[in-house]
Structures are given as structure tokens and as C-alpha cells.
């Protein structure tokens, strides 16, 4: 068994609601893996299970073959899982640079002693945080916003800042929850190019997206969720040609139920 | 205000040196003892309020129980110097450490709590500490308190006048400010502020929020304990009544008025509140009504405090209102 991030029969129930039901997924190093599905399909919940915000009701999540199903959110971050949120969770009242510097938290180790006595560790860490943050901002094309308050930026730029902040922690896998939501066409295309560029440099990406075109253009592998269950997985061509996916996506919810019934393909 | 701030920002080290020289020199110009005592209070409360500001202002954990830590520091000093004749300086450190340990213990049940629930636990803890001090007669002297606390000495030099204590309080305030400045402007301070701003995001970036909050609490409590220790030898008599919830709120009012989450705010808060205490002495207890009114006015018109940034999270409500006015329904349409 391998894969960078792997789930086995993951379920997440809220009372009687099966938000995620028996999902197997395997993201390989170097993938841009897309998760699509109609609203309320359980995509965000699935992300939250993978990043430790929710514990799976059943099933296991593995990262680098290590069982992370019951680990805390912080511990999972430390293993190299970076993520963004569907509703951006920036430090609104801090500058963009400060936001990204906090992204360098895991790459530095200054403790109170180091900070008080300005030890070597402190000086090395401050330099690292400054340089790494500026480099990350430059790569993300956000340099000119370094000293702007995050909360004052446009929605699309905020999303990009959140991605940059996560990248500053050099995650092994970058999980993006609807990164293009709220972006205009231009910003969306730029984001797609940015993600492809990152991926070409070796960054593994797992993303949720609503915009079919975006996913089809961007991802090398796609998983489709509907009513919490996986209904299809494969290359973009395979998925877009799949009848069930089309019903689930373009049909109404009642059609979706039929799909659910014969989902075991 | 913003112009002054820009000027100060540009000449920061010069301004700080000037302020320090002023603080050192001006009490020498023959003030009355009662006046010097007020200066002592201002400096003492600056460090107390400043240490509360570390928890409330920087990590956003609204503690109302600061008087409890202050109480522990004072009693550690009073007990060890009167009963065991240990000298002032090592005990001062123990006052701080004792309060810090209490801070650590109290922070544990608050880790999973937020907002009002956390505040209530700290409030309760502060009262528990005071009630222990009141009732553990064998050790604390109960309601009689502890008297004849010996004056500290420093290489044969005895702290026996308000002026000498003024310099002791000033020294502690400067050390507190320096160390806190360094912490705030480091990975440690950034992790505290990330918790204040957005805990979910902080965790997603690997900030271990539980230990960070505990250290934050302990650090704030440490300085309250240090001030408690000095207070004990300054007034030479302590009893539990001093460390009531009123005292906790008094400290709290200084950071609300001065500005939370800024290092300079507590200085301003301490000057304003202690200054008003003196000016309003003629109206007796009515001055508490004035404080309450002042706090309400501040919360309404300037929630970030006198010195706070208008763009801090503490002024958040106002920013959101302004933004909603500017961008209209645009945001709504997007989400
Ligand atoms: N914390 C929660 N408690 C209860 N129900 C939830 C919770 N989070 C999500 N859900 C429900 O789970 C389902 C899946 O939601 P979500 O994962 O957000 O879907 P998606 O991201 O695919 O739009 C929805 O019906 C939603 O209402
Ligand atoms: Mg979602």
C-alpha cells in the first residue's frame, strides 16, 4: 500500500446524516487530484476528515502510510498536510507578509528563551521567515500586497494569499477547498496556471472545485462525490464521459438519488 | 493622533530614550512624597496591566482573573520574607514563578473554552485564590494579613522611600517592556497573535495552540506575581481584601482604555486611570461610576483603546461596518 494521502472506507456521519460515506481515495505524489460533486455532496467534510478537523466515524486516513485518523489538526499539519478553507480563514487584521510569516511557523523553532535572548536560533529563524515569506509572495505574484492588510484585499487575492500562506510551510500535499470560488474568469485562469506551475515543480495538490472546466483543465485525476459517496473516479476524459456523473451534476437531486442506488460501478 | 504615531514610529529609538531619560530624571525635582507614590502606582499598574495585555491583547484569551496572580506573588513574598527570613531578590523570582505555575494550572481547563466561558473560569480562579488567602490562617494570617514585611536591600542600599521604589518599579517596567517586545516580535508572539486572529487557521499552519496558550498565560501571570512581590515590600502590609475582583477589573479597565494588543497602551491606560483616581478623589465612590462610563464610551467609540490601531481585530466591528458600507452587497453576491 502506498500513495501520499490514502483513505480507506472513510465515513463521516452527523447524527443520521451520512455526509461522507465509505470513500476510498489514493493521491499519488505529483498528482493534481480533483474532487468534484454537487453542493452538499460532502467534499468539504471529506477534507475536514483528512486534515483532522473531524474524526472519521468509520474508516482510516493514511498519510505517507501513517494512520492519521485520530490525530489532532496540528499534528497532521506538522506531517506536511497544508490546506485552505472554503470560506477564507486569513488573519484579516494582519498584513499579507505577517500572514505568510505565520505560515513559516513549522519551518522555524524559536522558543521563548531564544526570543528573549536573541539567540542564534532566533536570528536564523527571523531571517528564514523573512526570506521564505518574500520568496513565497514573489512566486505567487503577491509581492506588491506584502504590507497591505489581508482583510482589505479583493476576494480573489485573499484566496491567493491563503494559498501562499499554506505554501510557506512547504507542505507535502496542498489541499485547496474551492480555490477559484469568487474569482473572475481572469483570476481563475491565472490561478490554474499558477497551480500547474507549482505542480510542475513537484507540488502534490488535492483540490475541491465546483467549476467543471477548471477541474478538467487542471487535474490529472478526478473523484466525484454525490450524497457522500464516491460515484466515479478516473482521468478527466473518463469522468466527463461518465453518464452517472452527468446526471449527478446536471440533473436534479432526485436524479442524484437514482445514481446513488446504482453507484457501485 | 495618526500624525503623532507616524512621527513616533519614525524616531522610535530616539523617542524611547527620551521617554526613559525623562522617567529617570523628572521625579528628582522635589515632588512631594504623596506625588511620588502616585508615580509608583502608575508604573506598578503599567506592568500589571501590561502583563494582562499579554493574555488578553495578544493571544485574545480574555482573562478577568489577574488579581489572583498578583495576590499569589504578594503572599509568596510576604510569607517567605517574614517567616523564613529569605532575602528579597530570590523570593521575588519565586513570586513570579509561583504565579506562573498558578497561571499554567488555570490555563488547562480554559484550553477548550472561549470567550465568556474562559473569562468566568479565570474570574472564579481569582476569587478562589483570594478566599484561600483569607481562610488559610496558619499560613496567610487570615483576615489579619501579614505585617512588618521587611524592606528589600541591594548591596547595602535599602529601599526605604517612595522615590527608591519608584526606580525599582521603573526598572521592572523597563525589563518587562523589553522582554515582551522581543517575544511579541518573534515566532512566539506571532503564534499568540495567530490564535487571537483565527484559531482554525493557526492550527492549519501547525501552531500548537494548547501549549502556546499555556505559555502565554504563564508569562502574563509571572509578571503579575513579580509586581505582587514588590507591592508586598512596598506597602509592608498585605491582606486578602486588596486582591478582590474589583482590583482585577481595575487592571482590566486600564488595558481597555489604553488599548489591548499594543505595548504602549497599558502605559497610557495606567496614567489615565491612576490620574483620574487622584483627580476624582473629591467625589468619593462616584468616581467608579465615572470609570464605568468611561469604559462604556471607549468600547462604543474606540474599542481598540486610545493607542490601539484602528485596523486591529479589536476595532473589528467598526471596520466591518465601514466595509459593508463601501462595497455594498458585493460580498454577499459572491458567497
Ligand atoms: N458540522 C456539521 N454538522 C452537521 N452537518 C454537517 C456539518 N458539516 C457539514 N454538514 C452536512 O454535511 C453535508 C455535506 O456538506 P459539505 O461537506 O459542506 O458539502 P460540500 O462541501 O460538498 O458542498 C451537508 O448536508 C451539510 O449540511
Ligand atoms: Mg464545500
Q: Which chain A residues contact residue B201 at CB under 8 A?
A: 85, 89-91
Nearest CB to B197 within list A78, A94, A169: A94
- Residue B103 pLDDT: 94
Whether residues A103 and A74 share a domain: the answer is: no
- Residue A67 pLDDT: 95
Mutate to test the interface with A, among B57, B201, B260, B330 (most CBs of A within 10 A): B201
- Is the pLDDT at A85 greater than 80? The verdict is yes
Nearest to B212 by CA among B239, B236, B197, B193: B193
Containing A74, the helix (H) or strand (E) segment is helix A73-79
Q: How far is the CA of A177 from the centre of ligand 2 (A)?
A: 7
User: What is the average pLDDT score of chain A?
Assistant: 89
Q: Which chain A residues contact residue B206 at CB under 8 A?
A: 74, 77-78, 105-106, 169
ipTM entry: 0.89
Which of A15, A21, A44, A47 is the pocket-test mutation for ligand 1 (most atoms within 8 Å of CB)? A44
Whether residues A62 and A183 share a domain: the answer is: yes
Sheet bearing A17-27, strands edge to edge: A17-27, A5-14, A58-63, A66-67
> Which residue's alpha carbon is at the smallest distance from atom 9 of ligand 1?
A45
Whether residues A72 and A177 share a domain: the answer is: yes
More confident position, A254 or A148? A148
Whether residues A150 and A194 share a domain: the answer is: no
Domain count, chain A: 2
Nearest CB to B190 within list A53, A82, A101: A101
Q: Chain centroid to CA B256: how far?
A: 11
More confident position, A138 or B307? A138
Whether residues A76 and A176 share a domain: the answer is: yes
The verdict on B322 touching A (C-beta cutoff 8 Å) is no
Q: What is the pTM of this model?
A: 0.88
Whether residues A227 and A182 share a domain: the answer is: yes
In a domain, A89, yes or no: no
Q: Is the Cβ pair B179, A111 closer than 8 Å? A: no
Which of A36, A42, A256 is the pocket-test mutation for ligand 1 (most atoms within 8 Å of CB)? A42
The verdict on A200 touching B (C-beta cutoff 8 Å) is no
Whether residues A180 and A164 share a domain: the answer is: no
- Is the pLDDT at A128 greater than 90? The verdict is yes
Q: Which chain A residues contact residue B179 at CB under 8 A?
A: 116
Per-residue pLDDT of chain B (335 residues; tens, 9 = 90+): 667 667 766 777 888 888 888 888 888 887 788 888 899 999 999 999 999 999 988 998 888 889 999 999 999 999 999 888 888 899 999 999 999 999 999 998 888 887 788 889 999 999 999 999 888 888 888 888 888 888 888 887 888 888 889 999 999 999 999 999 999 999 999 999 999 999 999 999 999 999 999 999 999 999 999 999 999 999 989 998 889 888 888 899 888 888 888 888 898 889 998 888 888 888 878 877 888 888 888 887 777 777 766 555 655 544 444 444 433 333 333 22
Whether residues A146 and A121 share a domain: the answer is: yes
In a domain, A91, yes or no: no
Whether residues A179 and A254 share a domain: the answer is: yes
Grid coordinates given for A262: 446504482
Task: Give residue ranges with CB within 6 A of ligand 1.
Answer: A 14, 17, 19, 37, 39-45
The verdict on A94 touching B (C-beta cutoff 8 Å) is yes
Q: Are A8 and A62 in contact (CB under 8 A)?
A: yes
- Domains, chain B, in order of start with CATH, read 34-301 (1.10.3470)
CA distance B149 to A36: 72
- Residue A208 CA: nearest ligand 1 atom is 21
Spatial CB neighbours of A180, under 8 Å, sequence gap ≥ 6? A159, A187, A188, A191, A192, A209, A210, A211, A214
More confident position, B301 or A253? B301
CA distance B308 to B261: 7
More confident position, A256 or B119? B119
The verdict on A235 touching B (C-beta cutoff 8 Å) is no
Chain A closest CA to B240's CA: distance in Å? Answer: 33
The domain in which residue A144 lies consists of 99-169
Whether residues A109 and A234 share a domain: the answer is: no
Q: How far is the CA of A42 from the centre of ligand 2 (A)?
A: 7
Amino acid at each position: 500500500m502506498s500513495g501520499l494521502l490514502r483513505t480507506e472506507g472513510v465515513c463521516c456521519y452527523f447524527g443520521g446524516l451520512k455526509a461522507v460515506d465509505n470513500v476510498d481515495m489514493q493521491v499519488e505524489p505529483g498528482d493534481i487530484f480533483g474532487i468534484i460533486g454537487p453542493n452538499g455532496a460532502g467534499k468539504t467534510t471529506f477534507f475536514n476528515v483528512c486534515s483532522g478537523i473531524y474524526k472519521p466515524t468509520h474508516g482510516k486516513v493514511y498519510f505517507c502510510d501513517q494512520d492519521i485518523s485520530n490525530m489532532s489538526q496540528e499534528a497532521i499539519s506538522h506531517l506536511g498536510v497544508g490546506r485552505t478553507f472554503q470560506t477564507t480563514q486569513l488573519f484579516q487584521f494582519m498584513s499579507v507578509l505577517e500572514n505568510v510569516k505565520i505560515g513559516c511557523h513549522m519551518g522555524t523553532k524559536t522558543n521563548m528563551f531564544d526570543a528573549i535572548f536573541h539567540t542564534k536560533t532566533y536570528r536564523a529563524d527571523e531571517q528564514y521567515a523573512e526570506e521564505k515569506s518574500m520568496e513565497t509572495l514573489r512566486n505567487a505574484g503577491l509581492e506588491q500586497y506584502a504590507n497591505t492588510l489581508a482583510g482589505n484585499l479583493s476576494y480573489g487575492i485573499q484566496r491567493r494569499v491563503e494559498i501562499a500562506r499554506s505554501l510557506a510551510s512547504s507542505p507535502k500535499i496542498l489541499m485547496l477547498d474551492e480555490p477559484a470560488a469568487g474569482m473572475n474568469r481572469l483570476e481563475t485562469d491565472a490561478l490554474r496556471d499558477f497551480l500547474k506551475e507549482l505542480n510542475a515543480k513537484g507540488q502534490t495538490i488535492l483540490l475541491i472545485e465546483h467549476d467543471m472546466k477548471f477541474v478538467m483543465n487542471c487535474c490529472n485525476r478526478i473523484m466525484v462525490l454525490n450524497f457522500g459517496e464516491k460515484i466515479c473516479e478516473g482521468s478527466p476524459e473518463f469522468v466527463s464521459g461518465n453518464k452517472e456523473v452527468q446526471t449527478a451534476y446536471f440533473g436534479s437531486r432526485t436524479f442524484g438519488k437514482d445514481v446513488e442506488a446504482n453507484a457501485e460501478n | 493622533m495618526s500624525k503623532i504615531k507616524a512621527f513616533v514610529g519614525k524616531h522610535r529609538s530616539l523617542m524611547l530614550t527620551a521617554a526613559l531619560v525623562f522617567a529617570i530624571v523628572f521625579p528628582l525635582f522635589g515632588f512631594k512624597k504623596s506625588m511620588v507614590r502616585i508615580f509608583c502606582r502608575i508604573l506598578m499598574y503599567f506592568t500589571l496591566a501590561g502583563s494582562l495585555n499579554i493574555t488578553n491583547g495578544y493571544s485574545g484569551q480574555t482573562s478577568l482573573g489577574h488579581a489572583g496572580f498578583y495576590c499569589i506573588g504578594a503572599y509568596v513574598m510576604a510569607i517567605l520574607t517574614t517567616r523564613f527570613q529569605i532575602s528579597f531578590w530570590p523570593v521575588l523570582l519565586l513570586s513570579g514563578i509561583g504565579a506562573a505555575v498558578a497561571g499554567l494550572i488555570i490555563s488547562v481547563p480554559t484550553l477548550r473554552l472561549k470567550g465568556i466561558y474562559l473569562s468566568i473560569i479565570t474570574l472564579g480562579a481569582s476569587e478562589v485564590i483570594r478566599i484561600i488567602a483569607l481562610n488559610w490562617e496558619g499560613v496567610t494570617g487570615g483576615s489579619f494579613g501579614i505585617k512588618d514585611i521587611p524592606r528589600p536591600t541591594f548591596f547595602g542600599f535599602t529601599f526605604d522611600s517612595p522615590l527608591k521604589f519608584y526606580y525599582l518599579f521603573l526598572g521592572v517596567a523597563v525589563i518587562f517592556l523589553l522582554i515582551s517586545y522581543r517575544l511579541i516580535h518573534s515566532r512566539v508572539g506571532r503564534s499568540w497573535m495567530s490564535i487571537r486572529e483565527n484559531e482554525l487557521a493557526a492550527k492549519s499552519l501547525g501552531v500548537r495552540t494548547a501549549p502556546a496558550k499555556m505559555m502565554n498565560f504563564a508569562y502574563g501571570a509571572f509578571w503579575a506575581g513579580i509586581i505582587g512581590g514588590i507591592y508586598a515590600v512596598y506597602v509592608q502590609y498585605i491582606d486578602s481584601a486588596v486582591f478582590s475582583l474589583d482590583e482585577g477589573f481595575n487592571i482590566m479597565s486600564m488595558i481597555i482604555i489604553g488599548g489591548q494588543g499594543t505595548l504602549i497602551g497599558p502605559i497610557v491606560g495606567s496614567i489615565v486611570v491612576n490620574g483620574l483616581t487622584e483627580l476624582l478623589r473629591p467625589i468619593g465612590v462616584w468616581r467608579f461610576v465615572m470609570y464605568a462610563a468611561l469604559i462604556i464610551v471607549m468600547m462604543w467609540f474606540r474599542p481598540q483603546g486610545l493607542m490601539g490601531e484602528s485596523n486591529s481585530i479589536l476595532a473589528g466591528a467598526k471596520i466591518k461596518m465601514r466595509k459593508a458600507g463601501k462595497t455594498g452587497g458585493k460580498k454577499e453576491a459572491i458567497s
